Amino acid sequence: MGSKKHIKGYLYIVAAAILWGSSGTAGKALFQGGMTPFELVQIRVTLSALILAAAFGVSARRLLRIRAKDIGYFLLLGGIAMAMVQGTYLYAISKIQVAAAIFLQYLSPILVALFSICFWNERLTVSKLAALSLALSGCYLVVGGYDLQLLQMNRLGIMGGLGSAVGAAGYTLLGERGMHRYGPLTILFYAMAFAALTWHILYPPFHYVTAGFSLNQWGWILYITILGTIFPFGLYFMGINYIRSTRAIITATLEPISAGFMCFFFLGEALGSLQIMGAALVIVAIVFLQLEREHDKMTPELIRAKKG
């Protein structure tokens, strides 16, 4: 029975990773058609929040209830961390290869580990140090650091990708803290809602109403919102109910791989051989790091630090 649950959990995570990867490919196609990443991020978070609100309002109103004293927390989680993740991620995709942008965002587990070592008294072991070194080396290759011309051309996209990694790390750390008080779907809804609020402040509000997008563009926007955002987040949360979150993170590295294949076949976008080598190093680093952290025994000091 246990093995069946584990298989189900892995299948949920794999499906989530593939859907996330496909949304990146769809986003790139919209950017090539003239849409800007800031237009897409505003629509994406707004529609996600509205659809979740409607679904919860009809069938699960308890998921919409939060305490007034936690509004500041959700403002930080959604209005800053989620807004930053979505904006920088889509901006990176508009400037560099989709797979490269996603691999940069997947440096977030490395940043979470560094934060845990610096502030939560997590042990710095040889394995963790090796994983961090592999990740940095892989990142250097993925962004084309070996080719100065390529590096200069991709500078803004690289900054966007690294920004999305920082935002994702912040969202992960804040989300973990919120899980002690709320369920994952409540956290997801309010993160999207406050991110939508931020993007209606940063970008002309309700721009999408008068932008004149075609029916085809709206079709892809709905795909990215529903199948590229709401469904994969839901599947991911369902998956971690069956397998440990460390294993889920490792399995989710299928996302940039699937995105790379889809972009190659549908958009003709491909990574160079050294970039592929760097991508492999990033995946190996994440696997090493997550397995090491999974086997770490939490000290009383670490437990107190996380709760504090």
For residue 305, pLDDT beyond 70: no
Q: 3-state DSSP call for residue 30?
A: helix
Q: What pTM did the predictor assign?
A: 0.82
pLDDT for position 146:
65
Pick the more confident residue, 28 or 99: 28
Angstrom distance (rounded) from CA 134 to CA 128 = 10
What is the residue extent of each domain of the chain? 2-307
Question: What does the DSSP assignment read for 237-288?
Answer: HHHTTTS-HHHHHHHTTHHHHHHHHHHHHHH-----HHHHHHHHHHHHHHHH
Q: Scanning the structure block, which residue is given the tokens 């999305």? A: 164
More confident residue, 301 or 253: 253
**Token representation of residue 59:** 């069938």
Question: Is the pLDDT higher at 120 or at 259?
Answer: 259
- Per mean pLDDT, which range of 47-51, 114-118, 224-228, 260-264 is the poorest? 114-118
**pLDDT for res 303:** 45
Answer yes or no: is pLDDT of 120 > 80.
no
Mean pLDDT score across all residues of the chain? 83
135-162: average pLDDT: 76
Q: Determine the Cα–Cα distance for residues 186 and 175; give it in Å rounded to an integer.
A: 11
10-46 pLDDT, tens digit per residue, is: 888 889 889 988 999 999 999 999 999 999 999 999 9
